[in-house]
Structure 1
Amino acid sequence: MATKIDVRDFNLFYGEFQALKDLTLPIQANEITALIGPSGCGKSTFLRSLNRMNDTIPSVHTEGEVWLDDQNIYAEGVDVVELRQRVGMVFQRPNPFPQSIYDNVAFGPRVMGTARRGELDEIVQASLESVGLWGEVRHRLKDSALNLNPGQQQRLCIGRAIAVRPEVILMDEPCSALDPVATLHVEDLMQKLAKDYTIVIVTHNMQQAARVSHQTGFFWLGKLVEFGQTEQIFSSPKEELTESYITGRRG
């Protein structure tokens, strides 16, 4: 399996505080990589580092490298707008724009100028089909996206992310605000999307990580304690701290 993102000796600081410490890990193409660990351990900060969303925080500075294919995304001259097209983000709570369902999905291609006017209909349909929403909303594309239920809104946000044809999708606890049925819909969707995209997910739900991911990384106090095949991490972790967290003795 090819490595899509290669993280090498990566450190991140908020001013004097070091939030991420010497992270080195490979993220494989067309797999789901789950990041687990207690609140405040650096999972979401690391996730946002993969498309440089932390750049918006003035006090942040980084050391080390993050390679996306053959490009170090922290090298000078990197086009961050292009990077965020290649590496999309889905947030913890569904955040549809206060626009129509159609305009939510069409937003990215319009702004980036990646589609001619006649292609937008095809992109919107294909994106909604990819997230299993087309059959549910095809007759009400002009309705407000805010009228959808939370599970539909989150799938819409995933559809909006893939409308600009990214290579990687980052998901920051995408099911934490959803009920169990909607959660299963999104988990099923992630597994289908992994055929075409590389997915990195932050989750506090260890059962979810065990169900959907191929690789799992366990974070603790800004460090990557253990990283490997999900089955190995959950059945026979190599580190005592990993086992203590997974079994509920720590965390």
Structure 2
Amino acid sequence: MNTANTNGTAKVRSRGLEVFYGEKQALFGVDLDIRSGEVTALIGPSGCGKSTFLRCINRMNDLVDGAKVNGSLTLDGDDIYHREVDVVQLRAKVGMVFQKPNPFPKSIYDNVAYGPRIHGMAADQAELDEIVMTSLEKAGLLGEVKDRLQESGTGLSGGQQQRLCIARAIAVEPEVILMDEPCSALDPIATAKVEELIDELRDNYTIVIVTHSMQQAARVSQRTAFFHLGKLIEMGDTEQIFTNPQQPLTQGYITGRFG
């Protein structure tokens, strides 16, 4: 039943991907291509495996006791799970924005500067300043915080905190940005700003977003993958998935018969 469209350039490709948490199997043989320079939405009911798939891409599942990953998962053709892969470098290349905004208890400036400092990306203070300002600008936040960069990032509103976390993610120049329900803790106005931002960011990044909101998936993504009970049921252009799904399960979820 897995349907993977392989047209276009696949930035991330999974074949036969399985994930186990101890004895419990969370993903079953997922074949999925994430195209470069697009927003791919992962939808499906709670516990269907979409966040598990997302966390495989930057090996966040490594942090879960008893987690085991089988099958193939590649980034630009390179095996993400190869034993010689430097996970720190992988996570710089594949940034993550979580459901609940999680700024560090540091200044706005230091939140964004944290990654570039660790990775030695700036030769001097002027270069670091440039990275911080550019990242805040790309995240649509610079205008709101430029006069308060030394204030704590935790003092911002929820929507601003989430955009700060996006600025922090893009400061290390990732190629892929993973977003795990990035708007679920935000009000409608903050959500609209983040969605607008996602649309702008796809010019420079490949974005994968897990969302429970089908309206959000329809608004921000070019491609949508529907998961159910750990299996990829259907993958296709977002408009096709929402207007003409090929699988009865997808149809049932889209029309609200379950989920």
Q: 135, 141, 148: which one pairs with 1:140?
A: 148
- Cα displacement (A) at 1:58: 2.2
Partner residue, 1:103: 110
Q: Which of 57, 67, 77 pairs up with 2:74?
A: 67
Alpha-carbon separation, structure 1, partners of 2:19 and 2:121: 33
- Offset from partner CA, 1:198-239 (integer Å, 9 cap, x none): 000000000000111000000100000100100000000000
Query: What are the equivalent positions in structure 2 for 1:83-102 lying under 5 Å apart?
Result: 83-102=90-109
In structure 1, the partner of 2:223 is 215
CA shift, 1:2, in A, is 1.6
In terms of mean alpha carbon deviation, does 7-16 or 164-173 score higher? Answer: 7-16
**Bigger shift: residues 104-113 or 187-196:** 104-113
1:154 paired with 2:162, answer: yes
Q: Secondary structure at the match of 2:182?
A: coil
- Structure 1 Cα separation of the partners of residues 24 and 160 of structure 2: 39
Alignment of 1:220-231 (within 5 A): 220-231=228-239
**What number of residue pairs does the alignment pair up?**
251
CA deviation after TM superposition for structure 1 residue 140, in Å:
0.7
Q: Distance between the aligned counterparts of 1:99 and 1:85, measured in 2?
A: 20
Shift of 1:57: 1.3
| Counterpart position of 1:175 | 183
RMSD: 0.7
Q: How does 1:32-47 map to 2 (within 5 A)?
A: 32-47=39-54
Structure 1: 4+ residue segments shifted above 2 A: none
Q: 1:76 Cα shift?
A: 1.9
Per the alignment, residue 239 of structure 1 pairs with 247
Match of 2:208 among 200, 203, 207: 200
Amino acid at match of 1:53: M
2:31 aligned with 1:24, yes or no?
A: yes
Q: CA deviation at 1:177?
A: 0.3
Unmatched 5+ stretches in structure 1: none
5 Å-filtered alignment, 1:5-24, equals 5-24=12-31
Q: TM-score, normalised by structure 1?
A: 0.99
Q: What is the TM-score when the length of structure 2 is the normalising length? A: 0.96
Deviations 1:151-178 (A, max 9, x none): 0000000000000000000000000000
Secondary structure class of the residue paired with 1:13: strand
| 1:117 to partner: Cα distance | 2.6
Q: Which deviates the most, 158-167 or 112-121?
A: 112-121
Displacement after TM superposition at 1:15 (Å)? 1.3
Work out the CA distance in 1 between the residues paired with 2:52 and 2:77: 23
Whole-Å separation in 1 of the counterparts to 2:76 and 2:138: 24
Structure 2: which amino acid aligns with 1:35? Answer: L
Tell me, which stretches of 5 or more residues in structure 2 are unaligned?
1-7
Give SS of 2:102's match: coil
